[in-house]
A and B are shown apart, each in its own frame.
Chain A
Amino acid sequence: MKSLIAALALSTALIAPGLALARPVTLTVNMAQYGGPGAYLAVYVTDASGAYVGSLWMAGGKSKYYKHLSDWAQMTGGDVAQVDGITGASVGAGQQLQLSMDLSDALFDAGYTLHIDAAAEEMRDSPNEIAVPLTATGAGQAVRGRRYIADFTYGF
């Protein structure tokens, strides 16, 4: 039932964006001191069944390296259009990436998960380094990465 409501709300956002409820969200990625060059990051969302919904941001400008963001690449087929207009620079070790965006309310508490794939040159790929459910109570909770990302937080 909850999923149905979420789906309806999301559909409303697509059909009549002005009617959809939205909230400003800030995503903060603190990079670890992994001792390497700037990392590419793919930030994307899957639904409750694990299916790809869409991308929120791509840190890193050369599409030929996107294959190293392997989960994202597998889900999107490496489709560059998925990150048109939402691409920025790669993020260096010890640096911070902070993103501000308006996201549909329907994404929260509805089984959606935010993922981050990470990779850097001459280092190991790190698919799905961050996987955090999008919930109202999860806001402000830091989630630790395992290789490139020290921690990730989303907030309202």
Chain B
Amino acid sequence: MKRSLSLLLIASALGSGSAAIAGGQGLFLVPDVGLASRAVPSANLTLIDGDEDEDGGWLWSWSGDEDEDDDEDDDECEDDDDENDCATGATGNAAKAGTAPPPNNGLFTDGTAPVQSN
């Protein structure tokens, strides 16, 4: 407020061209120390690392894979997961053992499926 009034007076003095007002009244330009002392918001540097070695190389990260919406480390279709999506492969994943017949690749006899026995 005080500063605004000061600026207004200075502007008036300049505008009227009356040196007497400026000099007589003892007005003087006050350096706006506020600006100098105003704290500058700290610039937080953020290291952006978009350099990921994804394909088969040393120390690739599965969490930075192309499916960015899936940041979970746990398999969605682990043994204790009873979601139907895992059973049916609706998510694009293979059907879990016991939820679908094994592939007809000639390796298994009578269509019997392998089972995890431990």
Contact = CB atoms under 8 A, between A and B. Distances in A.
B110 A22 contact: yes
Classify the interface of chain A: helix, strand, loop or mixed: mixed
A10 interface: yes
A20 B78 CA distance: 34
A96 interface: yes
B21 interface: no
Interface string B46-62: 00000000011011111
Contacts of A70: 56
Interface string B67-94: 1000001011111010000100100111
A122 B56 CA distance: 10
Contacts of B110: 17-18, 22, 102
Given A22-B109, A58-B94, A102-B108, A86 B56 contact: no
B76 A62 contact: yes
Interface string A43-72: 001000000011111101111110110100
Interface string A14-30: 10011010100010000
A65 B60 CA distance: 12
Interface of A: 10, 13-14, 17-18, 20, 22, 26, 37-38, 45, 53-58, 60-65, 67-68, 70, 80-90, 96-104, 107, 121-125
Contacts of B81: 61
A64 B103 contact: no
Contacts of A53: 105-107
A103 B107 CA distance: 6
B115 A100 contact: yes
A61 B97 contact: no
